[in-house]
């Protein structure tokens, strides 16, 4: 396995069978996992030092017309509590976030049919004029190419659209009434054409996912060269069809993050809220596998519990904007600190 890790470190491409072998070994053999993670951490430190970028996450709406089997916000979950923030509430979050030191705001939400281009354009324009120096990231799912272009012109910079599953059959099984992986990827390509910094990614351990599927995900990520990659464990939500499935495996998640770091040394990789929700040390373990971003929750406190994509989602303490000092303290236990800059993808 050592030579496979060395090849990755050198920037050589691994074929599907080598990637599969590496993932399988790393998930089972702690020495292989440690070797992978040590190299990923070294690569991340060469790129970013000991600084961790922060992004303020604003959860715009829990309404969703989509019906992803794994997600608590899915259309058919009648017990989900739905809310939608007003523009004033979002701008209030930005004000608080800006004062706390955030220089990236992430507007994330379900695919809410009331979020027209006009509505979003107006919101983004206001954010852009009030805070000219921040990065605005969107994570609002699948929209038309014209819509992506319009929101980019209004001032958005980045877009998180996890591909979820590169494998056609797996994607279809998780989104039985969705538009298919071809459409998801067409959206990702439209975002790249529009000039966004793009984020792809997937859950680890979702029902039906095999190591071979994960290899397909890794090869897609290598091919599309996204600027951001979000990877976290699947976590069950009881009011979804996958509610009794087990959560994703920690070690396999860490191994996947480490491989992505070695494949894309400059990528912005969050230590995800799902990882922090899986296990108390999850956030640190992600960073110690090559992640370099955390996304504390900046949503108004009364709506946080309602944005339940999975159960027991961390949105307080170190996962919350108001807990930045606790986060700083936690990072310091492994020698890291918050990097307060905007944290754009470095193109040179």
Q: Footprint of ligand SAH on this chain (CB under 6 A)?
A: 70-71, 108, 110-111, 139, 141, 161-162, 164, 203, 232, 234-235, 237, 274, 309-310
- Residue placing its CB nearer to ligand SF4 in the complex, 26 or 309: 309
From 256, 192, 257, 247, select the one nearest 223 (Cα to Cα): 192
- Residue 111 Cβ vs ligand SF4, minimum distance, rounded to whole Å: 5
Tell me, letter by letter, the H, E, C secondary structure of the chain: CHHHHHHHHHCCCCCHHHHHHHHHHHHHCHHHHHHHHHHHHHHHHHHHCCEEEECEEEEEECCCCCCCCCCCCCCCCCCCCCCECCHHHHHHHHHHHHHHCCCEEEEEECCCCCCCHHHHHHHHHHHHHHCCCCEEEEECCCCCHHHHHHHHHHCCCEEECCCCCCCHHHHHHHCCCCCHHHHHHHHHHHHHHCCCEEEEEEEECCCCCCHHHHHHHHHHHHHHCCCEEEEEECCCCCCCCCCCCCCCCHHHHHHHHHHHHHHCCCCECECCHHHHHHCCCHHHHHHCCCCCEECCECCCCCCHHHCCCCCCCCCCHHHEHHHHHHHHHHHHCCCCEEECCCCCCCCC
Quick check: 233 binds ligand SF4 (CB under 6 A)? no
Quick check: 343 binds ligand SF4 (CB under 6 A)? no
Please give the size of the binding site for ligand SF4, defined by CB under 6 A: 10
162 binds, among ligand SF4, ligand SAH, none (CB under 5 to 8 A by kind): ligand SAH
- Residue placing its CB nearer to ligand SAH in the complex, 194 or 309: 309
Give the one residue of 21, 34, 47, 66 binding ligand SF4; rule: CB under 6 A. 66
Give the one residue of 52, 68, 203, 257 binding ligand SF4; rule: CB under 6 A. 68
- Residue placing its CB nearer to ligand SAH in the complex, 235 or 252: 235
Q: Which stretch binds ligand SF4 (CB under 6 A): 24-32, 48-56, 66-74, 241-249?
A: 66-74
170 binds, among ligand SAH, ligand SF4, none (CB under 5 to 8 A by kind): none
Other beta carbons within 10 angstroms of residue 222's beta carbon come to: 16
Q: Which stretch binds ligand SF4 (CB under 6 A): 11-19, 62-70, 251-259, 281-289?
A: 62-70
- Residue 66 Cβ vs ligand SF4, minimum distance, rounded to whole Å: 4
203 binds, among ligand SF4, ligand SAH, none (CB under 5 to 8 A by kind): ligand SAH
- Residue placing its CB nearer to ligand SAH in the complex, 32 or 254: 254
- Bridge partners of 230? 201
- Residue placing its CB nearer to ligand SAH in the complex, 164 or 216: 164
Give the one residue of 20, 56, 110, 282 binding ligand SF4; rule: CB under 6 A. 110
Distance CA 161, CA 159 (A): 6
Quick check: 239 binds ligand SF4 (CB under 6 A)? no
Quick check: 141 binds ligand SF4 (CB under 6 A)? yes
- Residue 159 Cβ vs ligand SF4, minimum distance, rounded to whole Å: 13
Dihedrals φ, ψ of 108, to 5°?
-120, 150
Q: Which stretch binds ligand SF4 (CB under 6 A): 67-75, 202-210, 267-275, 326-334?
A: 67-75
Quick check: 73 binds ligand SF4 (CB under 6 A)? yes
CA angle 331, 334, 337 (to 5 degrees): 35
Residues that bind ligand SF4 (CB under 6 A): 64, 66, 68, 71, 73-74, 110-111, 141, 309
């Amino acid at each position: 396995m050592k030579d496979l890790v060395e090849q990755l470190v050198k920037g050589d491409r691994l074929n599907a069978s080598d990637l599969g072998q590496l993932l399988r070994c790393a998930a089972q053999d702690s020495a292989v996992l440690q070797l992978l993670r040590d190299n990923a951490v070294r690569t991340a430190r060469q790129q970013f030092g000991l600084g961790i970028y922060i992004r303020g996450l604003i959860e715009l709406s829990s309404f969703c017309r989509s019906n992803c089997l794994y997600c608590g916000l899915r259309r058919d979950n009648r017990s989900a509590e739905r809310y939608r923030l007003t523009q004033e509430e979002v701008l209030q979050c930005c004000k608080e976030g800006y004062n706390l030191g955030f220089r990236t705001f992430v507007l994330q939400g379900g695919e809410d049919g009331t979020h027209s281009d006009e509505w979003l354009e107006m919101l983004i324009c206001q954010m852009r004029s009030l805070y000219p120096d921040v990065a605005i990231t969107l994570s609002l799912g699948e929209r038309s190419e014209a819509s992506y272009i319009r929101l980019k012109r209004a001032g958005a910079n980045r877009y998180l659209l996890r591909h979820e599953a590169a494998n056609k059959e797996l994607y279809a099984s998780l989104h039985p009434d969705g538009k298919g992986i071809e459409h998801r990827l067409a959206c990702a390509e439209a975002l790249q054409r529009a000039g966004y910094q793009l984020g792809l990614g997937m859950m680890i351990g979702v029902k039906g996912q095999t190591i071979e599927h994960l290899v397909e995900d890794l090869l897609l990520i290598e091919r599309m060269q996204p600027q951001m990659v979000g990877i976290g464990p699947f976590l069950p939500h009881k009011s979804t069809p996958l509610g009794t499935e087990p959560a994703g495996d920690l070690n396999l998640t860490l191994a996947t993050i480490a491989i992505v770091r070695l494949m894309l040394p400059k990528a912005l990789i969050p230590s995800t809220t799902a990882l922090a929700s899986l296990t108390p040390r999850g956030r640190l373990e992600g960073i110690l596998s090559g992640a370099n971003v955390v996304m504390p929750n900046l949503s108004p406190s009364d709506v946080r519990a309602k944005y339940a994509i999975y159960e027991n989602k961390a949105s307080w303490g170190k996962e919350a904007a108001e807990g930045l000092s606790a986060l700083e303290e936690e990072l310091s236990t492994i020698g890291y600190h918050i990097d307060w800059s905007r944290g754009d993808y470095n193109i040179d």
